[in-house]
Amino acid sequence: MKSSDLGGTFTLPNTSVTLHRMGYGAMQLAGQDGDKRVWGPPRDVPGAIAVLRETVAAGVNHIDTSDFYGPHVTNQLIRQALHPYSGDLVIVTKVGARRGPDGSWLHARSRQEIIGAVHDNLRNLGLDALHVVNLRLGGFSAPEDEPFEEPLTALAELKQQGLIQHLGLSTVSAQQLAQAQTITDIVCIQNLYNVAQRTDDEFIDALAASGIAYVPYFPLGGFSPLQSSALNQVAASLDATPMQVALAWLLQRSPNILLIPGTSSLHHLRENLSAAALELPDEALARLNRIGAVAA
């Protein structure tokens, strides 16, 4: 183990925004209502507030959220727990979806839906300008070939108006990024990626060369039983949890990777943050890389 510095820092391209690489994802703070997940308030509101406050007290300076978590719940909790915000805290939100009455996740990418979503985020977070807004495209886990000029242009106009500082994209391909960059500057990409799901390997390397941040979601998503078993074995050999190993692998994968593990538990928050201090030895890295090689 090395002394934890939250994975070092990364500065978003062409900005003065420097982030600790270990961040926090707020999605799991929302509650559940039957089959409706990420819906309604949490059962333990004081507990959720305690998690947010300890996150920031531990040095984390970027939080991932969205007004369609809850809906509205996670943003309202962030405001209740942390407002007025410290000067270095960067709140990254996303637009492009809405929730149906049945808890479904629906596209919301028209110009007016984008404008409305930005103002919802501003109001519920208590901000005059959103720090970073990601346009959520694609399906649940993979990019789709789809038009996005209308929503991205709307966001670029809101940025020009001073309501947004920086823009990113979520669940997109390298080709879509290139197209987006003809409309506006992009500072980060948020896609599905982990030790078992390695589709974006070349994309990550290209983004690193361009200085653009890559933020993987679902660090333990999409593992087969055999892949999970291999991860568990590596974790046991290091006296760590599988999540800690998965996060440490991502930090060591590329210097432009920023992490946003989420939890509603103080115990798991502390475990996740301590993954930044886990140095994976060469043998462990080789075993983990074989998981991705088999998956490919």
The pLDDT of residue 2:
35
Q: Which residues pair with 189 in a beta bridge?
A: 169, 214
pLDDT per residue as tens, the chain (296 positions):
333 589 999 999 999 999 999 999 999 999 999 999 999 999 999 999 999 999 999 999 999 999 999 999 999 999 999 999 999 999 999 999 999 999 999 999 999 999 999 999 999 999 999 999 999 999 888 999 999 999 999 999 999 999 999 999 999 999 999 999 999 999 999 999 999 999 999 999 999 999 999 999 999 999 999 999 999 999 999 999 999 999 999 999 999 999 999 999 999 999 999 999 999 999 999 999 999 875 44
Give Cβ neighbours of residue 267 (< 8 Å, ≥ 6 apart): none
pTM for the structure as a whole: 0.96
How many Cα atoms are found within 13 Å in the side-chain-facing hemisphere of 85?
A: 22
The pLDDT of residue 1:
31
The pLDDT of residue 177:
98
Q: Which residues are catalytic?
A: 69
The pLDDT of residue 122:
98
Question: Residue 89: is it exposed, middle or buried by C-beta count within 10 angstroms (0-12/13-18/19+)?
Answer: middle
The pLDDT of residue 294:
58
The pLDDT of residue 292:
83
